[in-house]
């Protein structure tokens, strides 16, 4: 694993009452869990909560394991959700984590946990990414949680409050026997701050102090007639108890002097955006003190809402504005219906003014908020409008300072990535044969094949659903089906959803398994294919992909090295040759380059420091030979393969060049060769700490051919 946290970071998790911890939202949440006395933790990685799994894994040996906290590298979100069963039947506290998309994967199991109810505090830390900085589908956790009767905590961006609400979420869960989802948005997860800590609490039971005997009560078994009774209990008893706890413990917060005529209602990190905009409009100071005309109710809990608190806040106002982010607008619908039921006549504004779709960043909020404030604070209207206009003007001025728009930087494969050549191969095949295959991708780095320069992924339908997304299509289309999956996704769910489904239904397809040994896109996490677990402990069993396919009855299966172009292309071609309809598998085996470099580079530094000989390979482009048609880039896209001015002033375009980040994977040279493009690529071996004899020989050569020798004593050698 990429080990994101230092020993000093982790050591702070032991801090007690009144001490300080400096760290990101993930570290703060982990500290909150320890202060709450959890007995188990698990989950599945995904941004923006991958760092929580990293923090727990990095803390495992020193903090979690000695306390007897069970930590699991869950196979997927459903496995993580199932682990929460421990809290249904015993008073142990536990937490799991996944990103918002994982809600869907966990649902079936979690619906059972939620319906039965929990004895011990049960918290899911959901990576909420409504602004979709790193997610394929824009969605909120709220609608999902509401249908499953789950409490949702949506904290404003304040790490101290996050620490408190993490602890409180376990209390709230126990007070209401309800599962709690704690939303961790990127604004909190990836922001660093200092917090004051409290003592860690011992867990009730753990791997050292084991539960002697536990037996589930029959009435808590989820089958009719218990099902109906549990449903009644959930909505008439448990959630109302949650509501009482929220009120009694002040989980929602009021800001302002309490007698303002304008009431604003915010939730989550929308609070911080609103305060920023109010301060730009001159209606709040930098520290968040509001203009006396304004009161604000911040909903840190968005399900359930507390009607009495809302009515109390709204009733004495002249105007109320709800600033709710995203769809469906469930807070607004509930509030409007509450005002209607109670016959409250206070004018209420919501998505009729505030943008209803998309993240509410300050630039999108300043227009509607200034309009609202200018209308309802007429004596300040000119100043408010002027401030909003000034802000807009400053933005336009800043934009004009750039002679050209900033170059877009769409996501792309890393330098030397082993997945890129697979798509280069497919692209070249298509160019050579004129046949366009149907490519269903799955969820992982390879999903970027849908972007430039490949533009060749046809579908991307959710984790583990890739090949299955192409069953009907492969049966009904003349096109070949060549679909891809990563080892992480294969073990997450595709082995069942796609492979079992495909074999059973005689799907005619070629399945390319990108075996890079890691769940790479989340920041390199272990999966059953990596061997060890996230914690570094050994994984049980030998989950070998090739043997598993064979055992499942796949007859055509072959392994290939994606960097060996000719061999890979031959095998890919062979396996696609028409035979009876069946699932054919090609395993592209090469480690994630980013992760490989994390091992290689420190090792190389160590060898250099010890004076040992080190050879580093790189590719280069001959500036004089390159004609500048950029064809090599169109089927590659390696960030190290870039552009340079030509030495020849007669050439009308820039020529290709390779920067010093090149890891020498050789792919661009192979592409140039495979696509019969040009002979301008050459491989260079940079040798460090060479011996005296070699140095002498090189110097002699340099006298004859004055290129290739560096004054530092490093020798370079062209190898064709
Ligand atoms: C349901 C769900 N859970 C988690 C994620 C987060 N996620 C995005 S890419 C990815 C890694 C996939 O790993 P793998 O298939 O091995 O592909 P690689 O990134 O290694 O190429 C994960 C877990 C997600 N998008 N959806
Ligand atoms: S993280 Fe690894 S698998 Fe993903 S693009 Fe980078 S090198 Fe390729
Ligand atoms: S050899 Fe080419 S494709 Fe490989 S890392 Fe270097 S520039 Fe990129």
Between the CA of 657 and the centroid of ligand 3 the distance, in Å, is 10
**Average of per-residue pLDDT values in the chain:** 93
Beta carbons of 704 and 698 less than 8 angstroms apart = no
Q: Ligand 2: does its nearest atom lie under 6 Å from the Cβ of 303?
A: no
Question: Which has more confidence, 395 or 145?
Answer: 145
Nearby residues of 221 by Cβ (< 8 Å), 6 or more positions away = none
Answer yes or no: is pLDDT of 627 > 50.
yes
Residue written as tokens 């960030």? Answer: 639
Q: For a pocket test of ligand 1, which of 522, 587, 589, 596 has the largest count of ligand atoms closer than 8 A to its C-beta? A: 522
Among candidate residues 106, 129, 104, the one with its CA nearest the CA of residue 50:
129
pLDDT at 279: 97
Cα(451)–Cα(622) distance, integer angstroms: 28
Residue written as tokens 């080892």? Answer: 487
Note the ligand closest to the C-alpha atom of 636: 3
Give pLDDT tens digits for 439-462: 999 999 999 999 999 999 999 999
Q: What is the 3-state secondary structure (H, E, C) of 503-528?
A: HHCCCCEEEEEEECCCECCCCCECCC
Between the CA of 201 and the centroid of ligand 1 the distance, in Å, is 34
Between the CA of 630 and the centroid of ligand 3 the distance, in Å, is 15
Among candidate residues 28, 27, 30, 25, the one with its CA nearest the CA of residue 41:
30
Instruction: Count the neighbouring beta carbons within 10 Å of the beta carbon of residue 552.
Output: 16
Answer yes or no: is pLDDT of 502 > 50.
yes
Answer yes or no: is pLDDT of 48 > 70.
yes
Report percent pLDDT > 90 for the chain. Answer: 79
The mean pLDDT value for 618-643 works out to 89
pLDDT at 3: 62
Superfamily (CATH) of domain 420-593: Thiamin diphosphate (ThDP)-binding fold, Pyr/PP domains (3.40.50.970)
Cα(230)–Cα(220) distance, integer angstroms: 8
Note the ligand closest to the C-alpha atom of 526: 1
Between the CA of 522 and the centroid of ligand 2 the distance, in Å, is 10
Between the CA of 46 and the centroid of ligand 1 the distance, in Å, is 7
Beta carbons of 485 and 452 less than 8 angstroms apart = no
pLDDT at 712: 38
Going by CA atoms, what residue is nearest to atom 2 of ligand 2?
Answer: 592
Between the CA of 669 and the centroid of ligand 3 the distance, in Å, is 8
pLDDT band of residue 720 (cuts 50, 70, 90) is very low
Which two tokens mark 141?
């956790």
Cα(371)–Cα(491) distance, integer angstroms: 52
pLDDT at 213: 81
pLDDT at 265: 98
Same fold, 14-199+210-247 and 253-400: yes
Of ligand 3's listed atoms, the one at least distance from the Cα of 666 is 1
* Helix-then-strand count for the chain, H and E: 26, 25
Nearby residues of 12 by Cβ (< 8 Å), 6 or more positions away = 20, 21, 22, 23, 27, 31, 197
Beta carbons of 335 and 363 less than 8 angstroms apart = no
Q: For a pocket test of ligand 1, which of 189, 412, 443 has the largest count of ligand atoms closer than 8 A to its C-beta? A: 443
pLDDT band of residue 699 (cuts 50, 70, 90) is confident
The mean pLDDT value for 206-215 works out to 90
At 136, give phi and psi (nearest 5°). Answer: -80, -30
Nearby residues of 61 by Cβ (< 8 Å), 6 or more positions away = 535, 536
Per-residue CA distances from 668 to 130, 163, 589, 680 (Å): 37, 49, 19, 11
Between the CA of 338 and the centroid of ligand 2 the distance, in Å, is 50
185-213 residues labelled b (16+ CB within 10 A) or e (exposed): bbbbbebebebebbebbebebbeeeeeee
Q: Ligand 3: does its nearest atom lie under 6 Å from the Cβ of 640?
A: yes
pLDDT at 137: 92
pLDDT at 674: 65
Q: Ligand 3: does its nearest atom lie under 6 Å from the Cβ of 176?
A: no
Which CATH code fits 253-400? Answer: 3.40.50.920
Rounded to two decimals, what is the model's pTM?
0.94
Note the ligand closest to the C-alpha atom of 590: 2
Nearby residues of 699 by Cβ (< 8 Å), 6 or more positions away = 709
Going by CA atoms, what residue is nearest to atom 3 of ligand 2?
Answer: 592
Report percent pLDDT > 70 for the chain. Answer: 97
What distance lies between CA 636 and its chain's CA centroid? 25
Between the CA of 640 and the centroid of ligand 2 the distance, in Å, is 14
Which CATH code fits 613-704? Answer: 3.30.70
Q: Ligand 2: does its nearest atom lie under 6 Å from the Cβ of 560?
A: no
Between the CA of 97 and the centroid of ligand 2 the distance, in Å, is 23
pLDDT at 579: 79
**Domain positions in the chain:** 14-199+210-247, 253-400, 420-593, 613-704
Cα(220)–Cα(238) distance, integer angstroms: 14
Answer yes or no: is pLDDT of 593 > 50.
yes
Beta carbons of 269 and 185 less than 8 angstroms apart = yes
Burial (Cβ within 10 Å: 0-12, 13-18, ≥19) of residue 288: middle
pLDDT at 1: 62
The mean pLDDT value for 547-563 works out to 96
pLDDT at 683: 84
690-705 residues labelled b (16+ CB within 10 A) or e (exposed): beeeeeeebeeeeeee
Which two tokens mark 152?
């949702």
DSSP E strands in 268-411: the ranges are: 294-299, 301-303, 319-322, 348-349
Note the ligand closest to the C-alpha atom of 488: 1
The mean pLDDT value for 638-656 works out to 91
DSSP-derived secondary structure letter, 335: H
Among candidate residues 176, 177, 98, the one with its CA nearest the CA of residue 144:
98
Cα(7)–Cα(14) distance, integer angstroms: 12
Range in 19-23, 394-398, 463-467 the model is least confident about: 394-398
Answer yes or no: is pLDDT of 715 > 70.
no
pLDDT band of residue 708 (cuts 50, 70, 90) is very low
pLDDT at 717: 35
Of ligand 2's listed atoms, the one at least distance from the Cα of 412 is 5
The mean pLDDT value for 135-140 works out to 92
Between the CA of 413 and the centroid of ligand 2 the distance, in Å, is 6
Give pLDDT tens digits for 393-406: 998 898 888 888 88
Q: Which fold has domain 14-199+210-247?
A: Rossmann fold (3.40.50)
Q: Ligand 3: does its nearest atom lie under 6 Å from the Cβ of 667?
A: yes
Answer yes or no: is pLDDT of 693 > 80.
yes
Ligand 1 pocket by C-beta < 6 Å: which residues? 44-46, 99, 101-102, 105, 419, 443-446, 463, 486-489, 514, 516, 518-522
């Amino acid at each position: 694993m990429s080990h994101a946290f230092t020993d000093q970071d982790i050591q702070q998790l032991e801090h007690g009452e009144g001490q300080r911890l400096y760290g990101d939202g993930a570290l703060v949440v982990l500290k909150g869990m320890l202060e709450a006395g959890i007995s188990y933790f698990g989950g599945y990685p995904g941004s923006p909560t991958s760092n929580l799994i990293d923090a727990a894994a990095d803390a495992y040996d020193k903090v979690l394991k000695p306390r007897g906290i069970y930590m699991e590298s869950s196979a997927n979100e459903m496995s993580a959700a199932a682990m929460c069963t421990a809290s249904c039947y015993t008073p142990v506290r536990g937490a799991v984590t996944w990103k918002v998309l994982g809600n869907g994967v966990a649902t079936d199991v979690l619906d059972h946990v939620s319906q039965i109810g929990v004895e011990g505090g049960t918290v899911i830390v959901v990576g909420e990414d409504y602004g979709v900085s790193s997610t394929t589908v824009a969605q909120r956790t709220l609608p999902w949680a509401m249908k499953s009767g789950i409490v949702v905590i949506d904290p404003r961006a304040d790490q101290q409050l996050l620490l408190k609400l993490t602890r409180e979420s376990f209390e709230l869960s126990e007070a209401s026997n309800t599962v709690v989802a704690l939303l961790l948005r990127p604004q909190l997860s990836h922001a660093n701050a200092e917090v004051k800590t409290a003592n860690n609490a011992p867990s009730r039971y753990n791997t050292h102090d084991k539960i002697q005997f536990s037996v589930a009560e029959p009435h808590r078994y989820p089958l009719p007639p218990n099902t109906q009774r549990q449903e009644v209990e959930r909505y008439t008893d448990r959630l109302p108890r949650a509501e009482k706890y929220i009120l009694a413990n002040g989980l929602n917060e009021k800001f302002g002097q309490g007698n303002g005529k304008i009431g604003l209602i915010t939730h989550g990190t929308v609070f911080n955006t609103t305060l920023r905009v109010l301060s730009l409009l001159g209606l709040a100071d930098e520290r968040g003190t509001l203009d006396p005309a304004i009161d604000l109710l911040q909903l840190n809990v968005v399900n359930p809402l507390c009607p009495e608190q809302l009515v109390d806040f709204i009733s004495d106002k002249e105007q109320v504005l709800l600033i709710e982010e995203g769809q469906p607008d469930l807070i607004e619908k509930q509030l409007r219906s509450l005002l209607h039921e109670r016959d409250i006549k206070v004018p209420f504004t919501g998505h009729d003014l505030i943008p209803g779709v998309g993240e509410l960043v300050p630039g999108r909020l300043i227009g509607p908020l200034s309009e609202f404030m200018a209308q309802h604070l007429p004596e300040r209207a000119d100043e408010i409008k002027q401030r909003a206009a000034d802000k807009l003007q400053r933005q336009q001025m800043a934009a004009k300072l750039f002679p050209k728009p900033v170059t877009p930087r769409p996501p792309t494969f890393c330098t030397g990535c082993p997945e890129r050549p697979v798509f280069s191969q497919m692209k070249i095949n298509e160019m050579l044969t004129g046949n366009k295959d149907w490519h269903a991708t799955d969820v992982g780095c390879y999903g970027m094949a849908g972007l430039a320069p490949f533009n060749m992924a046809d579908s991307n339908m959710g984790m583990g659903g890739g090949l299955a997304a192409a069953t009907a299509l492969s049966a009904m289309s003349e096109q070949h089906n060549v679909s891809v999956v990563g080892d992480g996704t294969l073990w997450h769910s595709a082995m069942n959803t796609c492979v079992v489904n495909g074999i059973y239904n005689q799907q005619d397809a070629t399945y390319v398994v990108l075996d890079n040994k890691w769940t790479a896109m989340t920041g390199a996490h272990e999966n059953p294919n990596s061997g060890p677990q996230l914690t570094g402990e050994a994984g049980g069993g030998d989950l070998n992909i090739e043997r598993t396919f064979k055992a499942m009855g796949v007859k055509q299966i072959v392994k290939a090295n994606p960097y060996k172009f000719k061999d890979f292309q031959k095998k890919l071609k062979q396996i696609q040759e028409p035979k009876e309809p069946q699932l054919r598998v090609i395993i592209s085996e090469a480690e994630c380059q980013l992760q490989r470099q994390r091992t290689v580079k420190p090792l190389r530094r160590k060898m250099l420091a010890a004076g040992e000989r080190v050879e580093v390979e790189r590719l280069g482009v001959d500036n004089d030979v390159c004609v500048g048609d950029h064809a090599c880039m169109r089927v590659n896209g390696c960030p190290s393969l870039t552009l340079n001015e030509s030495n020849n002033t007669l050439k009308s375009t820039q020529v290709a060049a390779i920067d010093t980040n090149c890891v020498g994977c050789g792919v661009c040279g192979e592409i140039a060769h495979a696509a019969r493009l040009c002979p301008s690529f050459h491989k260079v071996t940079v040798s460090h700490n060479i011996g005296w004899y070699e140095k002498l020989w090189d110097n002699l050569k340099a006298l004859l051919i004055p290129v290739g020798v560096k004054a530092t004593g490093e020798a370079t050698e062209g190898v064709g």
